[in-house]
């Protein structure tokens, strides 16, 4: 389980904060389903991001391969905000999207994907 990233989680949701974080954008620049698994790119160092920048927390979380739903839950941000920020990091080359399931996925792999997605949604 990733470390607690509650410093970004507000006790009460704030529309202004979400708007500011995404610069007013509500749609990600690439298609990212909420169950998409993202991971950091091996050679990427997030040194250009300030430690208090929520994007640095996203890069740190993705070191453990995590879904978009789980990122939103751990950071306490709406799923739409998580999708926009993750898409920005994918486009910049800091993160990569991994295939959620192959066409020959086993029943166990499919169940694990559903469980991870549900876990992330419950934490929202």
Range of the domain at 44: 6-123
Q: Tell me whether residue 67 is in a domain.
A: yes
Q: Tell me whether residue 14 is in a domain.
A: yes
Token representation of residue 93: 């080359």
Task: Over range 95-100, report the average pLDDT.
Answer: 84
Q: Is residue 118's pLDDT more than 90?
A: no
Residue 104 burial class via C-beta count within 10 angstroms: exposed 0-12, middle 13-18, buried 19 and up: exposed
CA–CA separation, 33 vs 25, rounded Å? 17
Query: What's the confidence (pLDDT) of residue 1?
Result: 46
Span 48-88, pLDDT tens digits: 777 788 888 999 899 888 888 889 888 888 888 999 999 99
For the chain, what is the domain count?
1
Q: Tell me whether residue 11 is in a domain.
A: yes
Q: Tell me whether residue 35 is in a domain.
A: yes
Q: Tell me whether residue 39 is in a domain.
A: yes
Q: Tell me whether residue 89 is in a domain.
A: yes
| pTM for this entry | 0.70
Q: Tell me whether residue 1 is in a domain.
A: no
Count CB neighbours of 26 within 10 A: 12
Contact yes or no for 34/66 (Cβ under 8 A): no
Span 6-40, pLDDT tens digits: 455 444 555 567 778 888 888 888 988 878 889 98
């Amino acid at each position: 389980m990733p470390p607690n990233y509650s410093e970004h989680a507000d006790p009460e949701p704030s529309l202004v904060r979400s708007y500011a974080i995404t610069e007013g954008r509500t749609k990600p620049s690439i298609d990212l389903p909420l169950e998409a698994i993202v991971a950091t790119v091996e050679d990427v160092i997030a040194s250009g991001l300030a430690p208090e920048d929520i994007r640095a927390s996203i890069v740190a979380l993705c070191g453990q391969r995590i879904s978009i739903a789980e990122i939103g839950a751990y950071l306490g941000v709406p799923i739409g905000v998580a999708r926009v920020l993750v898409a920005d990091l994918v486009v910049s080359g800091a993160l990569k999207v991994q295939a959620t399931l192959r066409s020959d996925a086993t029943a166990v792999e499919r169940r694990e994907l559903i469980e991870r997605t549900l876990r992330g949604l419950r934490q929202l």
